[in-house]
A and B are shown apart, each in its own frame.
Chain A
Amino acid sequence: MNGLIQLLNSHGIPQDFVIKAAFYFIATLTLVFALFVVLSRHIFRAAVYLAVVLTCIACVYLFLDAEFLAVVQVLIYVGAIVVLFIFTVMLTADIDSGTFAGTLRRMSVAAVASLAIFFILFKVINMVTAWKTAVPAGVSINLSQLGKSLMTGYALPFEVISLVSLAALVGALVIGKAEKR
C-alpha cells in the first residue's frame, strides 16, 4: 500500500481518490460475486465464483494494511479450500441437477430473514459514530511483530490450533476411508 501511494505521489495523481475508487470497485465486485455464489444454478460455477470472492477479500485485506493475511488468504482459501470444493464437486455426481434452492416461498423467506439481519447490523454500525482509537489510525502491524506475539503471548492458542488441524486431518482420513467389504 505504501509503495502504491509513493508511486501515485510521484506521478501527481490524487492518491486518496484512486484508493477510494479501487476500494469501492473491489467491494462491489466482492458482493456481486458473493451473490453469484449463492444464486448460481451450477455448483461448479459457484465454486469458481467463490475463488473470485476470496481473491477480492484478499485485496480488501491489503486496504487494511494486513499484507500477510492477504497472502495467507490466497494460499489457504484460493489455493487449498476452493480446490477441495472443486474436487468434492467432481467426486459427487449429478452436479447439475437439483442444486438450486427451488421454491419461491423458501427463497423469499430466506431473503426477508437475511435482509433483516443486514438491516440490524446496518443500524448498529451507524449507531456508533466514532470508534475509540488508542493507536493512531494507519499504524500498520508488521510481520515480525505478528510472528513475535504469535510465539510469545499467543503460543498456547497456536499449539491448540495445530492440534485441531491434526485432529481434522486424522478425522478426515477415518471418515473418508473406503470401508472394507
Chain B
Amino acid sequence: MIPESHFLMLGAALFSIGVFGVFTRRNAIGILMSIELILNAANINLITFSKFSASPDGLGQIFALFVIAIAAASAVVGLCLVISIYRNSKTILVNKINLMKW
C-alpha cells in the first residue's frame, strides 16, 4: 500500500504552496483561499496520523471535523470583512487598505 510518508509529503507540499500564496497575493480573497489550502494540508496530516498511528477512537478524524468547522467559520467572517472593507474603501487589495495604519 501507499506509505504514510507520501501522504505527509502531499500535506507538506500543499502547506508550502499555501504559504507562498499568502506571501504573494495582494488580493484579500486570494489570501483567504491560500489559508484554506493550508488548513486542508493540516487536515490531510491529521487523517493520515489517524489511519497510521494509535488512535482507537478516530481522534484524528474528529480533529479534522473540528478543523473543517473552524475553517468554515473563519471563511464566513473573513469574506464578510472583505465585503465590508470593499463597501467602505472600494478596494480589496491589502496594500491599499491602510485604515488602521498610523
Interface residues of A (CB under 8 A from B): 16, 19-20, 23, 27, 30-31, 34-35, 37-38, 43, 46-47, 50, 53-54, 57, 60-61, 63-66, 68-69, 72-73, 76-77, 80-81, 84-85, 87-89, 91-92, 98-102, 106-107, 109-111, 113-115, 117-118, 121-122, 125-126, 131-135, 137-138, 140-141, 145-146, 149-150, 153-154, 157, 161, 164-165, 167-169, 171-172, 175-176, 178
Contact = CB atoms under 8 A, between A and B. Distances in A.
B57 A149 contact: yes
A149 B30 contact: no
Interface string B56-77: 1111011011101111111111
Dominant secondary structure at the A interface: helix
Across the A-B interface, give the 4 residue pairs with the lowest CB-CB distance, nearest first.
A134-B54, A110-B23, A141-B58, A101-B24
Contacts of B65: 69, 72, 150
22 contacts: A30-B14, A31-B17, A37-B21, A43-B29, A64-B48, A72-B65, A88-B83, A91-B83, A92-B86, A99-B25, A99-B30, A113-B19, A117-B16, A134-B53, A135-B53, A135-B54, A137-B1, A140-B51, A146-B58, A168-B73, A175-B81, A175-B84
